[in-house]
Amino acid sequence: MSVKPTQNEALVSRILTFSCVDGPGNRLVVFLQGCNFDCITCHNPHTINHCTHCGDCVKSCPSDALSIASQQNGTQRVVWHADKCTHCDLCIDVCPDKSNPKIVRYSVDDMLALIRQHHFFLNGITISGGEATLQLPFIIALFKAVKSDSELAHLTCYIDSNGSLSRTGWERVSPYLDGAMIDLKAWQSDTHLWLVGRDKHRVIDTIDYLATQNKLHEVRLLHIPGKSDLDTEVDAVGDYLNTLPKEVKIRLNAFQHHGVIGEALTWEKCSESEMNRFHDLLFSKTNRPMQLPTIYT
């Protein structure tokens, strides 16, 4: 069975019909499955890979919500029965591939129908992930459809991204895009490579491009005490942030253990006092307002 999304179909891991932290105002947020980064600190590691339908998770389900179906071509497919699922996530815990059997395919028409149900309460939609832009043809088709629909055209269309999309990709979606939130997880390329599995050049290129297009809504900085380098490289980070338009929001995220697996669970969490130290240091270089976390776990 193909795990590849198509122009008119997306592989969706979760949908929030209301969020006020994923872009401006009230937003419907679609989390797409699949990511091209492999962050040590990922707090949703089961969104990284596509399900290979190995079947290992089926027996773990206490609610009989997973089964194996044989395909005409002789392969097997794991089927999720949403009506029986209690969302205990035991299936996710046992998956050897950092995946999730609860993936749903949505066509553009399916998604438009869902948005239409909620549009009276929404300012816009945000496509997140995983890495949203790995399913760019679907995003472009969906945003185009929203913008050309008389009932939905008032909704703003945002992307929440790790910044890895090429300049050409951003140019393709830009005519239909109102804004984007981009993560910057480290300053030095080798630190970035160690933390996420890729260097930071594409991320910087993305931030620069979106800023020139007035489509950069927010840059998110993840502070991991003693591991990331956004504090030790504060002069360079501050100088860079100062090149961005004043309207671009800066959000500081604190590393926490929720959802994290592997070695990062042994790392120190970012406390409120440590985050305030980082904030004050960065503020002394930028004099820009920055959004701080409201919850520390």
What are the φ/ψ torsions at residue 184 (nearest 5 degrees)?
Answer: -120, 110
CB 32 within 8 A of CB 136: no
Stretch that binds ligand SF4, among 81-89, 114-122, 178-186, 203-211 (CB under 6 A): 81-89
219 binds ligand SF4 (CB under 6 A): no
Residue in 8, 19, 60, 123 binding ligand SF4, rule: CB under 6 A: 60
CB of 275 to ligand SF4, least distance (A): 33
Residue in 3, 15, 16, 54 binding ligand SF4, rule: CB under 6 A: 54
89 binds ligand SF4 (CB under 6 A): yes
Q: Toward ligand SF4, which CB reaches closer, 87 or 105? A: 87
The whole-angstrom separation of Cα 15 and Cα 75 is 29
CB of 83 to ligand SF4, least distance (A): 11
Stretch that binds ligand SF4, among 51-59, 199-207, 254-262, 278-286 (CB under 6 A): 51-59
86 binds ligand SF4 (CB under 6 A): yes
Q: Toward ligand SF4, which CB reaches closer, 51 or 180? A: 51
53 binds ligand SF4 (CB under 6 A): yes
75 binds ligand SF4 (CB under 6 A): no
Q: Toward ligand SF4, which CB reaches closer, 5 or 179? A: 5
Residue in 1, 20, 21, 88 binding ligand SF4, rule: CB under 6 A: 88
CB of 85 to ligand SF4, least distance (A): 3
CB of 59 to ligand SF4, least distance (A): 10
Q: Toward ligand SF4, which CB reaches closer, 97 or 149? A: 97
User: Hey, which residues between 131 and 190 contact ligand SF4 (CB under 6 A)?
Assistant: none
Beta bridge partners of 27: 19, 124
55 binds ligand SF4 (CB under 6 A): yes
Tokens of 251: 């959000």
What are the φ/ψ torsions at residue 31 (nearest 5 degrees)?
Answer: -100, 115
For the chain, give the DSSP string: -----BTTEEEEEEEEEEESSSSSSSEEEEEES--S---TT-S-GGGSS------TTGGG-TTS-EEEEE-TTS-EEEEE-TTT-----HHHHH-TTS--S--EEEEHHHHHHHHHHHGGG-SEEEEESS-GGGGHHHHHHHHHHHHT-TTTTTSEEEEEE-S-S-HHHHHHHGGG--EEEEEE--SSHHHHHHHHSS-SHHHHHHHHHHHHTT-EEEEEEEE-TTTS-TTTTHHHHHHHHTTS-TTSEEEEEE---TT--GGGGGSPP--HHHHHHHHHHHHHHH---EEPPS---
User: Hey, which residues between 96 and 135 contact ligand SF4 (CB under 6 A)?
Assistant: 97, 99-101
Stretch that binds ligand SF4, among 6-14, 84-92, 269-277, 278-286 (CB under 6 A): 84-92
The whole-angstrom separation of Cα 70 and Cα 64 is 17
292 binds ligand SF4 (CB under 6 A): no
Peptide bond into 23 cis (omega under 30): no
63 binds ligand SF4 (CB under 6 A): yes
13 binds ligand SF4 (CB under 6 A): no
Residues making contact with ligand SF4 (CB under 6 A): 51-57, 60-61, 63, 65-66, 78, 80, 85-91, 95, 97, 99-101
